[in-house]
Amino acid sequence: MEFVKSDDGSYYIVKGFQDGTTAEDVYIPVNYEGLPVKEIADGAFNGTKINTVTIGNNVTVIGESAFQECISLTKINIPASTKTIGEYAFANCTALEEIYYEAISANNLEVTDTFKNAGLATDGIILYIADAVKKIPTSLFATSNAGCINITSIIFGSESNCAEICQCAFMNLSELKYIVLPSSIESIGKYAFSGCNGSAVIYYCGDKNQWDILLNKVEKYNNVITSSPTSIYYYSSDYAENCWHYENGLPVLW
């Protein structure tokens, strides 16, 4: 890969593959030649034939179109250090199957389509949200009416610290089948789940009393959360009616 120093010489930026080189599995290192690797440049890997990407936990910026049109890409992680994710960063990654989202508190996005048309050639993307994540930024996993993100499952961990799902965060996920929603959530912004599959199942990590309290804090136009036909199950470590538990990290009804 090609690395260039930042203008102030304090960190490195990944520019992509060097001329004539390529790789199926890409690892963005934490450090390079004694300095942190903090940015992935705009268009760095656009159109390359990579299969997986592992991004080291010093990267704060994933540039615009950084991985756009990587049609063989199946798995990515967005590390805890990430603050900024550019427009179309993962657009048209049609083979995408797994996203590991670890960014603790990334900046809100002003546009949708960061993941436009991702996963369209698969049976669906599983989106894993790490326990340390504190918020899901505005519009991050949203798409415009002209595109689609084939996210079918959203799974927060059992020890999630996420308190906020910002407005439009998951807007227009029309293929969503279920979401594991943590009891740590304190607010869900307007349109956060607007346009999602209204029959998606909710596996809530708290009890019914906690759920009822949360509903009073949900902004309007979140049909997955507020629609009465939606199936909702509550977490229990022991057998209980209308409840679920984890098996191998996935929700399973008792």
Q: What is the pLDDT of residues 66-89, one digit of tens each?
A: 999 999 999 999 999 999 999 999
Quick one: pLDDT at residue 145? 66
- At 220, the pLDDT band (50, 70, 90 cuts) reads low
Question: CA neighbours within 13 Å on the CB side: how many for 190?
Answer: 1
Angle at 196 between CA 141 and CA 193, to 5 degrees: 60
Q: What is the pLDDT of residues 160-175, one digit of tens each?
A: 999 999 998 998 888 9
Q: What is the pLDDT of residues 15-61, one digit of tens each?
A: 999 776 678 899 999 999 999 999 999 999 999 999 999 999 999 99
* Tally of residues, the chain: 254
Quick one: pLDDT at residue 58? 97
Comparison of pLDDT for 14 and 200, the residue scoring more? 14
Name the average pLDDT for the chain: 90
Quick one: pLDDT at residue 21? 66
> Does the pLDDT at position 131 exceed 60?
yes
> Does the pLDDT at position 213 exceed 90?
no
Residue at 88: amino acid letter: Y
Q: What is the pLDDT of residues 22-32, one digit of tens each?
A: 788 999 999 99
CA distance 209 to 199: 22
- At 221, the pLDDT band (50, 70, 90 cuts) reads low
CA distance 50 to 74: 9
> Does the pLDDT at position 194 exceed 90?
no
Quick one: pLDDT at residue 16? 93
CA distance 239 to 233: 12
> Does the pLDDT at position 130 exceed 90?
yes
Q: What pTM did the predictor assign?
A: 0.91
DSSP 125-141: EEEEE-TT--EEPTTTT
- At 133, the pLDDT band (50, 70, 90 cuts) reads very high
CA distance 17 to 23: 8
Comparison of pLDDT for 249 and 118, the residue scoring more? 118
Quick one: pLDDT at residue 132? 96
> Does the pLDDT at position 223 exceed 90?
no
Burial 37-58 (b: 16+ CB within 10 A, else e): bbbbbbbbbbebebebbebbeb
Instruction: Specify the DSSP element, H or E, that contains 215.
Output: helix 208-215
Q: 117 Cβ partners below 8 Å, 6+ apart?
A: 91, 92, 93, 94, 143, 147, 148, 149
CA distance 125 to 179: 12
Quick one: pLDDT at residue 219? 67
Torsion of CA 7, 9, 10, 11, to 10 degrees: 80
> Does the pLDDT at position 229 exceed 50?
no
